Amino acid sequence: MSSVIQMDWFVLILVGIGTLLLLGEILVNMRGIFAILGIVSITLYFYLYLPDNATFIMTLIIYFAGLLLILVDGKFISDGTLAVFGFVMIFISVAIAAPTFTAGLYAVIGVIIGIGLAFALLKILPHRNMWNKMTLKDRLTADKGYSSLSEEYAQLQSQQGITVTALRPVGTIKIADKEYSAVSSGHWINKDVAIIVVDVDGTKILVKELKE
C-alpha cells in the first residue's frame, strides 16, 4: 500500500474523486452521500502527504473554505466572482499538499477532472438550485430583447417599402431606410418593386406587391 501512495498518479485519483464528490454534492441532490465520501477522500489526501498537523489543518481549511465560497456564490450571489476565488483556493491547497512537483501537477489535473465530471452530473441527476439568479437574469434579458424586437416589427404593419432583392419567396426589403428579411405573399416579387406589409408574426414579415 505504501508503494501505491508514493506513486504520483495516486494523488490524481484521491483529489479527482474527492473534488468530484464534494462539488457534485453542491450541484446535485445526493442527500449528503457524496459529501461524506468526498470529505473522506480529500481528508485522506491531505493526511497522507502533509508532514505535520498544522500544515494538514491549514490546507484542509483552505480547501473547504474554497468549497464554501463556491456554495455561497451559487446559492446567494450568483455572479461567479466568489466561485472563481473558491476554485483558486482549491487549486492552491492541493498543490501545496503534494509531495513533489509532478504530484502537484497531478493534483491540479485531478481537480480539473473532478470539476468537469461534477458538472456532467447535472445532465443525469436532479440538480440543486444553484446560480439561478444568473440564469434568470440572462433569460429575462433575452426575453426583453426579443419583446423589444417584436414591438419594432409589429409597427411595420401596413407600412410601405421597396424590395432590395427579389423575394422568391424570401428576400430583403427596405422600409424607412432600414432593411428587413421578408416573405412574399402568394407570388414572387422582383427587385426594386414597391411593397406593403400585410402581416407581422413576431419577427416574420409578410408582404405583397403594392399595385397603383
Fold of 154-209: OB fold (Dihydrolipoamide Acetyltransferase, E2P) (2.40.50)
The domains of the chain are located at 2-130, 154-209
Q: Do 122 and 27 meet the contact criterion of CB atoms below 8 Å apart?
A: yes
Q: Which residues pair with 175 in a beta bridge?
A: 178
So what's the pLDDT on residue 77? Answer: 79
What's the rounded Cα separation, in Å, for the pair 32 and 72?
A: 17
Residue 91 host element (H or E):
helix 81-97
**Contact between 11 and 106 (Cβ < 8 Å):** yes
Within 10 A of 7 (CB to CB), how many other CB atoms are there?
12
Provide the pLDDT confidence category of residue 151 given band limits of 50, 70 and 90: confident
Span 37-91, pLDDT tens digits? 999 999 999 998 887 889 999 999 999 999 999 988 888 877 788 989 999 999 9
pTM of model > 0.75: no
Q: How far apart are CA 151 and CA 139, in angstroms?
A: 18
- Strands 178-184, 204-209: pairing is parallel
